[in-house]
Amino acid sequence: MSCKNPFNHDITPADAPLLNVQVDGQWVQLPRGLNVVEAAKRVGKFIPHYCYHPKLSISGNCRMCLIEMGTPKMGPDRKPIIGADGKPEIGWIPRPQIGCATMISEGMGIRTDSPMVQDCRKGVMEFLLINHPLDCPICDQAGECKLQEFSVEYGNEDSRFVEQKVHKPKQVDIGERIVLDDERCIMCSRCIRFSREMVNDDVLGFTQRGSHTTLAVHPGKRLDNNYSLNTVDICPVGALTSKDFRFKMRVWFLKETKSICTGCATGCNILIGSRENVVHRLTPRENELVNSEWMCDQGRLGFHYIHAEERLLQPTARVNSTTLPVAWDDAFAQIRDRIKSYKPEQIAIIGSARMTNEELFLLAELRAGLGGNAVLTDVVPRTGEADGILRSADLNPNTAGAKLFQISNDGKNLAAIKDGIESGRIKVLYALHEDPVGDAGLSEFALAKLDLLITQKLLKSHSTDIAHFSLPGASFAEKRGSMINGAGRLQRLNKAIATPGQTMDDFEILLKLRSTITGGNSLHTIEEVFKAVAASIPALSGLSLSKVGDLGVEVAPAAATVTT
């Protein structure tokens, strides 16, 4: 597991012994080590809760998960009394117990919806609401608010509260990316426990007491760690909101697309929240083998370039000093006509470890058509500091794929490419999703010496301005495909929004460029490309995109093993 949770209440060891437990009258077998909330969940019974989170320590403060429980009645011989049905008779405890802190035991009885339980939930719901501002119409949490949901499901129809509500600080700026509304807070302490236990950044706490209890950051501290926005996800109400997302879009309008974060080699599983071809937010999607339920703020907020003003929206061709729009097919034909007069040694390709396996595979095929290994090729490595939580030192999402398809040479060829261009030996450069100047470190002077510069990028730059052909590609949210993360896990990207303007999905650009230059094309869809990929790589044999599934498959124990 790449993500170390402080707790995993929802996971039991595979060899955990099974216990006989009665849940709402049905006897079932469940592994030892589960609490009542998780045990009930495994048999399809939902026990509502606010403070309980399977990955955090148990606080037991919200009292929403109160259930009725019992233990086997013991006879004089200290053995359970067996009833007419052959099962132990249960002695029910008259006092409700919290499901989150009650571990299941042999012969235990659980009632998740008895009159006593219903009464408890009604009471807790009422208490939680009396001092809660009913500002749902302007609250970002509306639509995914547990207070709303459980109020409808378990609460009262009417309010009996005629007193003044408690007033607390509003719009508290507690961090770079987070705003706190203390009146909405229900004091579940999830955010406090997350910061303390998961990130080891114990900056949140309660001040005051009783009904006046107020969530706050410690004096002189801010909630600024790189995981701070996870507190917004786990906040069951609208107390913690994301500055980036608040007031932007009602959540019920969001289409959620399962994909992965491309911010580093961890490949956190995400949901892309979009509406009408605009991405509004990324949120983590549970995958215990990758990111559990979390993602870093950097990855979460690193999508705004998709809708940047500098986004290139149509292919262009430069003739002398004039850059003009060009039709895709014309661009492909013109590139073919111009590139074929160069020897392989005169051509260089700067690919990217941000490209999908399918794109890298097609790029490798294109290179073969242009003369194979004589075409100097590499990607731009990006490294940062691993944080021991989720962030990988490798900031490219598909370094493993780039190596697998031999596009990457770990950046060692970049200097040779630079030298070759500056010395005039290399005349043609095809740069994909890396800026030759900004990313690959070439000089503008060197670029000017090229006979043919082809860029395939998202954003406008000097390089795209002077490129002979600028081919606008697609962002991660606009394409399907696969990547292999740093732990050797093959995972899928899915298309959340359409490619804007005249832009084209990169696999299609490469497919068309390849067929235009080398002729012949048996591949049309992304599935077909993946099939060809799988056929060419033993580690992927037998796989298809659909078989990869939402949670991915392990294809190599570690990235290192795919180095060729």
Q: What count of Cα atoms within 13 Å lies in the side-chain half-sphere of residue 120? A: 23
Task: Report the distance separating Cα 437 and Cα 308, nearest Å.
Answer: 20
Pick the closer one to another protein by CB: 121 or 177.
121
Tokens representing 184 are 């909405």
Q: In whole angstroms, how close is the CB of 100 to another protein at the nearest point?
A: 9
Question: Order of strands, edge to edge, in the sheet holding 255-260?
Answer: 255-260, 269-275, 278-284
Residue spans of alpha helices (H) in 131-272 = 146-154, 190-193, 229-234
Piece in contact with another protein (CB under 8 A), picked from 96-104, 305-313, 404-412, 493-501: 96-104
- The residue range among 160-168, 310-318, 345-353, 416-424 that interacts with another protein, by the rule CB under 8 A, is 160-168
- Nearer CB in complex with another protein: 120/555: 120
DSSP string covering 22-80, please?
EETTEEEEEETT-BHHHHHHHTT-----SS--TTS-----S-TTEEEEEEEPB-TTSSB
> Which of the stretches 52-60, 193-201, 266-274, 425-433 binds another protein when contact is defined by CB under 8 A?
52-60
Residue placing its CB nearer to another protein in the complex, 135 or 330: 135
Instruction: Indicate whether 92 belongs to the interface with another protein (CB under 8 A).
Output: no
By CB under 8 A, residue 130 contacts another protein: yes
Instruction: Let me know: does 419 contact 428? Beta carbons within 8 Å.
Output: no
Stretch that binds another protein, among 173-181, 203-211, 301-309, 453-461 (CB under 8 A): 203-211
CA distance 115 to 71: 19
- CB closer to another protein out of 96 and 238: 96
Instruction: Please give the C-alpha separations between residue 254 and each of 90, 302, 374, 404, in angstroms, as whole numbers.
Output: 47, 18, 48, 36
Residue 378 is classified by DSSP as: E
- Residue from the set 19, 34, 66, 264 that interacts with another protein by CB under 8 A: 66
For residue 238, the number of C-alpha atoms closer than 13 Å in the C-beta half-sphere is: 25
Distance CA 561, CA 267 (A): 18
Q: Are 360 and 407 in contact (CB under 8 A)?
A: yes
- Out of 102, 269, 413, 475, the only residue in the binding site for another protein (CB under 8 A) is 102
253 interacts with another protein by CB under 8 A: no
Helix (H, G, I), strand (E, B) or coil at 185: coil
Tokens 């719901």 sit on residue:
125
Judged by CB under 8 A, does residue 59 bind another protein? yes
Q: Is 134 in the site for another protein (CB under 8 A)?
A: yes
The reply on whether position 96 binds another protein by CB under 8 A is: yes
Of 200 and 341, the one with the shorter C-beta distance to another protein is 200
| Residues 408-437: x where in contact with another protein by CB under 8 A, - otherwise, as a string | ------------------------------
Q: Cβ 250 to another protein, closest distance in Å?
A: 21
**Among 22, 112, 131, 413, interactor with another protein by CB under 8 A:** 131
**153: contact with another protein by CB under 8 A:** no
Q: How far apart are CA 257 and CA 287, in angstroms?
A: 15
Label the pairing between strands 269-275 and 255-260.
antiparallel
166: contact with another protein by CB under 8 A: yes
By CB under 8 A, is residue 67 in contact with another protein?
no
Q: Is 127 in the site for another protein (CB under 8 A)?
A: yes
61 binds another protein (CB under 8 A): yes
Q: Could you tell me if 50 and 121 are in contact, meaning their C-beta atoms sit under 8 angstroms apart?
A: no
What are the residues binding another protein (CB under 8 A)? 58-64, 66, 95-96, 98, 101-103, 119-120, 122-124, 126-128, 130-131, 133-135, 159-166, 186-187, 205-206, 208-213
